[in-house]
Amino acid sequence: MLPSNRGRHFFIGALSGVLANVLLGLSSVFWKYIGSLSALALLGYRVYLSLLTVFLVVYAGRELRPLFAQLNIRLLILHAVASILIAINWGTFIWASVHGRVLESSLGYLVAPILSIAMGIVVYKEPVTVFKAAAVLMMLLSVVSLFVLSNDLDIRVYLGIGLAWGFYSCLKKMTSLNVFSGLLLESLVLSFFCTLFFIFSNLGMAIPDDFGLWRTLLVFSCGAVSIIPLALFSFSAKRLSVMSMGLSQFVLPLTQFFVVTIIYKQAASPITVMALLVVIIGLLVVVFEPILKKLCFCSGGGQDEE
């Protein structure tokens, strides 16, 4: 019974992680559509409406009192740092989506899982097989080749997104709070700093008169668009190892590559296509590792018998 429960536990976590990354990848279309607002204004709406959305969920679930009972300095610092990382990720992602830099943001999300996998190996001492090591090395070399050979790409976008999301995913493994309580704490910290920013800057969040009813309604759906993928991601982080989380995150850049080529009709360079193919091969190696092990074992056993 135990292996069955473990398998179900892993499957639900993996499915949540994959779905979270698909939704995050497709959300670039959403931000592009309402992109006549400034990226900072959109970030403000995203922060405040995320706070409202997650507060209603926590309040309805009667989780406010348990949240305050669990709070300590360690959790406050952890989620404060996580909120800064997610603000960097959100802001850069929105800017990239609005300004036609979706390809760079997809490359940023190639950096993040490699960082997560490396953290799993170095910090959490997760076991590494020959196949996993080979797959990670393949993917790492493909990303490095993009950095070196693709001079027309904005390095600020993919490094900002990649490093922020990679470290954020690692921090989510360290919290004892449930999914929505953690997101509420992060949203509160973000809202505080966001309010200070808008008070002391000349920037506003006013929606233009000619924005239209449909796009205005979409702006006010920012909270759900932001929180649903993050909730799925946090749910997944509780159930998967850091290495498995890192591997599931490769779904996001592949989804964004689909958006770039199919929806926006942007041509990708041969270097980019080759790098993505190497990543896909690396993922397949990890997914089918048990089969590859059996094939190698049978091959080795056959040679010994001869």
DSSP 8-state code for residue 227? H
Question: Would you call 240 helix, strand, or coil by DSSP?
Answer: coil
Residue 249 backbone dihedrals phi, psi, to 5 degrees:
-70, -15
Alpha helices in the chain (DSSP H): 2-33, 39-60, 64-70, 73-98, 102-122, 130-149, 155-171, 179-200, 213-219, 222-239, 242-248, 251-258, 270-287, 289-305
Residue-wise pLDDT tens for the chain (306 aa)?
444 577 777 888 888 888 998 998 899 899 999 988 888 999 999 999 999 999 999 999 898 999 989 999 999 999 999 999 999 999 999 999 988 888 888 888 877 777 777 777 777 777 777 877 888 788 888 878 877 877 777 888 988 998 998 889 888 888 888 888 999 999 999 999 999 999 998 888 888 888 889 999 999 999 899 889 988 988 887 788 766 776 777 788 888 888 888 888 877 778 878 887 887 787 777 667 767 777 776 665 554 444
Displacement of CA 175 from its chain's centroid (Å): 17
Cβ atoms of 97 and 45 closer than 8 Å: no
Alpha helices in 172-269 (DSSP H): 179-200, 213-219, 222-239, 242-248, 251-258
Whole-Å CA distances, 28 to 94, 138, 151, 236, 254 = 7, 27, 23, 22, 13
Q: Which of 60, 119, 90 is nearest to 190 (CA)?
A: 90
Does this model's pTM top 0.85? My answer is no
Token pair, residue 71, equals 């709070």
